[in-house]
Amino acid sequence: MKRIDLAIGIGGAAGQGIATPGDVLARIFVRRGLHVNAYNAYQSIIRGGHIFLTLRMSDQPVLSHGDKLDVLMPLNQDTMNRHLRLMRAGSTVLFNSDTIKPGAVSEGVQLCPFSVKALAPTIRGDLVQNTIALAAVLRLIGVEFEILEEILTLQFRRKGAAAVAENVGVARAGYDYAAAHFTALPFSLPDTAKPLAFFEGNQALAMGGAAAGVRFYCAYPMSPSSGVLHWMARHARQLGIMVRQVEDEIGVINMAIGAAHTGCRVMCATSGGGFALMSEALGSAAMMEIPIVCINVQRAGPATGVPTKTEQGDLWQVLGAGQGDYPRIIVAPTNIVDCFKIVPQLFNLVDKFQCPGIILTDLLLSEGRSSSDPAELDFNVPIDRGDVIGLNGDEPPVNGGFKRYRITESGISPRAVPGTPGHVHVVATDEHDEDGVLISDEFTDPHKRQAIHEKRMRKMDGVLPLLPPPALFGAADARVTLLGWGSTEGVIREAIGQLADAGITANNLQIKWLVPLHADAILSILSACAKVVIVENNYSGQFARYLRSETGFAAEGHIRKYDGEPFMPHHVVEGVKAILAGSTKLYVPVHEIQV
C-alpha cells in the first residue's frame, strides 16, 4: 500500500487566526492515529507580517516538515504571492476569491476559490474564511463533517449556542461547496483506532521535568524557551511545583541555585542571550557542587538576533560558559520525545555527580510539534538523588567535623542539605578546602587548591561510562556518512531515504551527549566511514571544530545553514550530491521561501 504523505500550508498575517485551523487538523489526524509534524515560521510581531504553518501528516512516522506542499491555504494576498509558485502538479490551493487573486500557476495545480460573501453573507469577521477553508480541506481528504462539527462545538460552546450554530453553519456551507465544485485528493484518511499524543518540544521538556520530580522552576520569559514556563505555570498547583517568573536571568539562575541547595530538584530555561547572563552563576553551582539543570533553547544570534528563528549557534557558548574549568554535563536532544526522556536522565546524572547540567535544544525542536505514542511518555522514571546524607546515604552526626568536600577517589563527596543535624558546613563560591573553609584569599594554599580542583574535575571520569555511546544508523558500508548533532536527526534521516532513491547510500551518526563526549567511540566509527559530511545549523561549523579539537578528526564535507530557517530534506540531498561531485567542500543552501 502506498504511503500517505500530506503536507498542508496555512499562511497569513499575525492575528489572522492561523493556529486554529492547524490545531483542528492536527487534532483530527492524531485522533485517527496518524503521525503529524508541525513547524510554524513566524515573526516577532503581534499584528501583520507573515506567518506560515506547515502541517505534515502521514500513516508512518514523520521525521521533518518535508519539502513539498499538497494543500495551500493562503489567508491573504501576500501568502498567495509568496507560496503559489512553489505548488506542484497534483496540489490544491484553497482561497477566498473576494480578497485574494491567484497569479501564474503551474500545470496540474487545482485552484479552489470560494466566496465568503456568497457562502456566509450575513456573518462579519475576517476569520470566517478560515472556517470555510478548513471545512473544504476536510471534505477534500474525505473526513466526515460530523467530526468537524463536534470539534467546533467544543471550541465555541463557551460563547454560547448561537456562536456554535453560526460556526457549524459556515463550516457546512464550505464543506458542501467543496464537495460540489472541487476535486477530492486521491486518498481518504485511514483510522488506526490508536490515537496519538501531539505536543511541542517545550511542553515535552516541562513534562520531563515533572516526571523527574522537579519541585521548583523559575525563568524570565525569553523566546523560544517561554513554552516551558507556560506549561509549568499552568500545571504548578496540580503537580506541587513552585513556579516563579523572575526579573532577569541573573536572578533566575541564582534563585535556582539557592533552591537546589535546599535539596529539591530545580530547573530553569532561557535562550542564548539569557544564558550569557547565567554563565558566572553556573560556575558557582559547580564550585559549590550544587546540582541544577538549565535549558538553553537556541535561536538565531548574536545579541537579540532573530528571536523567532532557529539556529545551532550556541554550542561553543555552553562549552565555555563561565570562567575557569569546571565539570558540566551537556546534552542535545534529537527529537521531541527525546526532549521528554532526557530530562529525568540528566537530573539523575547531575544529582549523582553534583554539577550543572545543560540541555541544548533549539527553536525547531522546542516550538515544533510532533505526534507520538502516549506510551513513550513514561512518568514513572527511576529517580537517583545521589549520595545525600539523610536521604539516600546514612552517616552519623559528626558534630562539626563534616567534610562537605571530602576528597574521594571518584571525586563525589556526600552532601547534606541545610538543616541536617550535625552536618553544619560552609558553602561559598570561593575556592575552599575539604571542610568548606575558604582558601581563595588570606589562607591561600596551592596544594589544597590543586587537590580540590582535581577532585571536582575527577567526577567527569565517572560520567562517560553511564552514557550510551552513539550508534551508526543505516548501512555500515554506505558511500557517505552524515554526521549531525541535536535537532538535525529527523531531516538527515529523511534525506537518507531520498538519497537512496537517487542511488546514493548514506548513513547517519547523530550525537546527543556533547559533554563528556564519546571521543574514542566516535573516532572509531568515523575512521571506518568512506566519506563524512557534517550537517549543522550554524555559520562556523561549531560541532566540526569541537569534534576536531577532541578527536583530531576532520570531515571531508560540510553542509551548513544559518538563515534562521531549519533544513529541509532536499537541502541535505543537494549538498551531498554537490560534495560527492567535487564541486564544493562546503555547501550552504538557500531557503526558497521568504518567511
DSSP class per residue in 418-429: TT-TT------S
Tell me, what's the pLDDT at 30?
95
pLDDT tens for residues 506-541? 999 999 999 999 999 999 999 999 999 999 999 999
Phi/psi for 509 (5° steps) reads -115, 110
DSSP, collapsed to helix, strand or coil, labels residue 32 as coil
Residue with cell string 574535575 = 457
Query: In the predicted model, is pLDDT for residue 393 greater than 60?
Result: no
Residues in Cβ contact with 339 at an 8 Å cutoff, skipping those fewer than 6 apart: 201, 202, 204, 205, 208, 333, 359, 361, 365, 366
Identify the pLDDT of residue 430: 94
**CA nearest to 105, candidates 140, 79, 129, 81:** 81
Domains of the chain: 5-181 (3.40.920.10), 207-376 (3.40.50.970), 472-587 (3.40.50.920)
8 A C-beta contact, residue 212 and residue 382: no
Global pTM exceeds 0.75: yes
Beta strand segments in 264-321, E? 265-270, 292-298
Residue 169: pLDDT band by 50, 70, 90 thresholds? very high
Reading the block at residue 262, the C-alpha cell is 535546599
d(CA 203, CA 550): 33
User: What is the distance between the alpha carbons of residues 245 and 228, in angstroms, rounded to a whole number?
Assistant: 12
Q: Quick one: pLDDT band at residue 193, thresholds 50, 70, 90? A: confident
What's the average model confidence in pLDDT over 32-51? Answer: 92
3-state per-residue secondary structure call for 377-394 = CCCCCCCCCCCEECCCEC
Query: What angle separates helix 489-501 from helix 569-580, to the nearest 10 degrees?
Result: 60
pLDDT above 60 for 411? yes
8 Å CB contact between 595 and 83: no
Averaged pLDDT, 391-416 = 80
Q: What pLDDT, in 10s, does the model give residues 228-258?
A: 999 999 999 999 999 999 999 999 999 999 9
Assign 91 a pLDDT band (cuts: 50, 70, 90): very high
Is the pLDDT at 143 greater than 70, yes or no? yes
Count CB neighbours of 252 within 10 A.
26
Residue in 364, 64, 357 with CA at minimum distance from that of residue 202? 364
User: Average pLDDT, stretch 77-102?
Assistant: 95
Q: What tens digit of pLDDT does each residue of 459-507 get?
A: 999 999 999 999 999 999 999 999 999 999 999 999 999 999 999 999 9
